[in-house]
Amino acid sequence: MRIRGFAHSVRVKGRRGFLILRSGADTVQCTYSHVQGDSACLDAEVFSLLSKTAPESFVEVEGTLQKTGFPIKSCSVQDREVLVQGFMVISAASDLPFSMRDVSAPEKEKENKNIATVAYNKRLDFRALDLRTPHSQAIFRVIDSIMHMYRSVLRKNGFVEIKTPKLIEAASEGGANCFSVDFFRRKAFLAQSPQLYKQMAVIGGLRRVYEVGHVYRAEESNINRYLSEFVGLDLEMEISTSYTEVYLFVYRLLTSIFGYLETECREDLETIRRFRHFDDITYGSEPLVLTYRECVEMLRKNGVNMEYGADFNREAEKMLGAIVKREHGVDLFIVESYPLAVRAFYTKRSDADSTMSNSYDFILRGEEILSGAQRISDYSELLDSVDRAGISRDSVRGYLETFRLGVPPHGGAGIGLERLVKAYFGFSDIRYFSMFPRDPARLYP
């Protein structure tokens, strides 16, 4: 057999040697010797070459696979090893910026004085090397599975995938936190979300649409919780009778994804858990739905001084998650009926209370992972809302004109992929879940 991979480690004991070869997340022991008559005997030149191979060099091993009489606990393949009969260095590594052993070690072992602490910024500077760690590879396989299931569930429910422009004429949604770029001697902006365009697609008759695409936010925020560029999982759909149809569907979508991870990604979840422990998330077969007012009362009863009409800050979200977990036993729940004043201009006003809105957020482990709402579908009402928000009608004229063409009631949601995965695993740093993160302090590599 012939296998290729990275030289994880090489250990020589007398005239015998042991190479741990890593391919993806799997490792296998390759034994070799310079003992005549040994089935893994190499000539002196090859024995020396292999023994001096630098860690992380990309190599090729030719040999025979055999069962071992004892488990090789240092490898993922524990009951077999390769008897080396040929060896070649395809690409030698040199001057590694950090040890793979140090960055692969479980968090609980970082107190071990023999394991060096590597600053995460340094790991990100050499991200291609950092990605070779088992937990990093497991994270991105989990993310791939989330996107696969997201698309699969939506397609089965009649959704059409669309791609909306990221270069736009005016700051999207009237927001100020947009990146500006030069566009053939004109100023253009990077889209904050596909919101206006996915609404226009539903108005265009596609009925149910979704997008997996990049989103840009020019916010000087905490780099551990926010990214300047992230992946948005957005959807929009027609509403038959009530906006609750949307959040009930989104709940089924998310729990389908979580169920898939729990059954199909168990090995990857355990790899990540070995690096940093996390508890399995808890959620009901039907969602726990709380109103904004109920949540404010819960916070007040637990000593949080919060006024009606204010949005939840990070501390309030975290406290709310802890209260709900204690009183209802779930990590995932929905908060609906937010004050109209704290939602975007296109959000539909509640018929029952003109100060409230047909909107909702999903909270997972005390962190908001998505926002959604029913949208305004009446042209005159939308014009009034744009004016109240202080947005120039001209800046959203293409969007506004669409609402003179006949509009079905509709609503949707926007999910931040990296934030969703961060909350799922209970990590404190969102950058683990972006392959090459962009934040106010990082534009490299």
**Per-residue model confidence as pLDDT tens digits over 36-76:** 989 889 999 999 999 999 999 999 999 999 999 999 999 99
Domain-located, residue 329: yes
Query: Is residue 176 scored above 70 in pLDDT?
Result: no
441 occurs within a structural domain: no
pLDDT tens-place string over residues 237-250: 999 999 999 999 99
User: First CA to last CA across the chain, in angstroms?
Assistant: 37
pLDDT tens digits, 123-134: 999 999 999 999
Could you tell me if 77 and 27 are in contact, meaning their C-beta atoms sit under 8 angstroms apart?
yes
Owner of token pair 């791609």: 163
The answer to whether position 440 is within a domain reads no
Q: How many residues does the chain have?
A: 445
Tell me, yes or no, whether 19 lies in a domain. Answer: yes
Distance CA 50, CA 73 (A): 22
Together in a domain, 121 and 66:
no
The answer to whether residues 39 and 162 belong to one domain is no
Domain that holds residue 33: 2-91
pLDDT of residue 166: 97
The alpha helices in 276-372, defined as continuous H runs, are 292-301, 314-328
Q: What is the pLDDT of residues 124-167, one digit of tens each?
A: 999 999 999 999 999 999 999 999 999 999 999 999 999 999 99
Q: Check residue 46 and give its pLDDT.
A: 96
Q: Is 138 in the same domain as 121?
A: no
Asked if residue 80 and residue 168 are part of one domain, the reply reads no
Query: Of 37, 64, 91, which marks where a domain is finished?
Result: 91
For position 194, which CATH number holds?
Answer: 3.30.930.10
Is the pLDDT assigned to residue 173 strictly greater than 80? no
**Going by C-beta distance under 8 Å and a sequence separation of 6 or more, which residues neighbour residue 327?**
none
339 pLDDT more than 90: yes
Provide the token pair at 39: 């089935």
Same domain membership, residue 280 and residue 365? yes
> What is the distance between the alpha carbons of residues 109 and 102, in angstroms, rounded to a whole number?
10
Same structural domain, 161 and 198: yes
pLDDT tens-digit profile of 98-124? 999 999 999 887 776 678 889 999 999
123 plus 77 within the same structural domain: no
Average pLDDT value for residue range 80-94: 97
Cβ atoms of 214 and 232 closer than 8 Å: yes
Shared domain check, 36 and 23: yes
- Report whether 357 contacts 292 (CB < 8 A): no
> Which tokens hold the place of 363?
């909270």
Q: What is the pLDDT of residues 348-368, one digit of tens each?
A: 999 999 999 999 999 999 999
Q: Give the CATH number of the domain where residue 77 resides.
A: 2.40.50.140
Judge contact between 359 and 347, C-beta under 8 A.
Answer: yes
Confidence of residue 269 (pLDDT cuts 50, 70, 90): very high
Q: Are residues 44 and 138 in the same domain?
A: no
Kindly tell me if the per-residue pLDDT of 201 is higher than 60.
yes
CA 54 to chain centre: 33
- For all residues of the chain together, what is the average pLDDT? 96
Q: What's the mean pLDDT in 169-184?
A: 82
Out of 111, 130, 149, pick the residue that ends a domain: 130
User: Is 375 part of a structural domain of the chain?
Assistant: yes
For 213-220, the CB contacts below 8 A with 24+ separation are: 213/163, 213/164, 213/166, 214/166, 215/191, 215/416, 216/166, 216/178, 216/179, 216/190, 216/191, 216/192, 217/177, 217/192, 218/177, 218/178, 218/179, 219/177, 219/440, 220/440
Cis bond before residue 445 (omega within 30° of 0): yes
**340 has pLDDT over 90:** yes
Residue 438, domain member (yes or no): no
* CA dist., res. 416 & res. 368, Å (int): 10
Question: Domains in the chain: how many in total?
Answer: 3
Span 205-226, pLDDT tens digits: 999 999 999 999 998 877 788 9
Task: Kindly tell me if the per-residue pLDDT of 229 is higher than 80.
Answer: yes
- Residue 439: pLDDT over 60: yes
- Nearest residue to 283 via CA among 254, 240, 250, 315: 254
Q: What is the pLDDT of residues 51-61, one digit of tens each?
A: 999 999 999 99
Could you tell me if 254 and 269 lie in one domain? Answer: yes
Instruction: Name residues whose C-beta falls within 8 Å of residue 43's C-beta, 6 or more positions apart in sequence.
Output: 34
Residue 442, in any domain of the structure: no
Task: Identify whether residues 61 and 73 lie together within a single domain.
Answer: yes
Please determine, for residue 174, whether its predicted confidence score (pLDDT) is greater than 60: no
**Does a structural domain hold residue 443?**
no
In a shared domain, residues 43 and 169:
no
Is residue 57 within 8 Å of 78, Cβ to Cβ? no
Convert the pLDDT of each residue in 376-417 to its tens digit: 999 999 999 999 999 999 999 999 999 999 999 999 999 999
Beta carbons within 8 Å of 76's beta carbon, 6+ residues apart: 25, 26, 27, 28
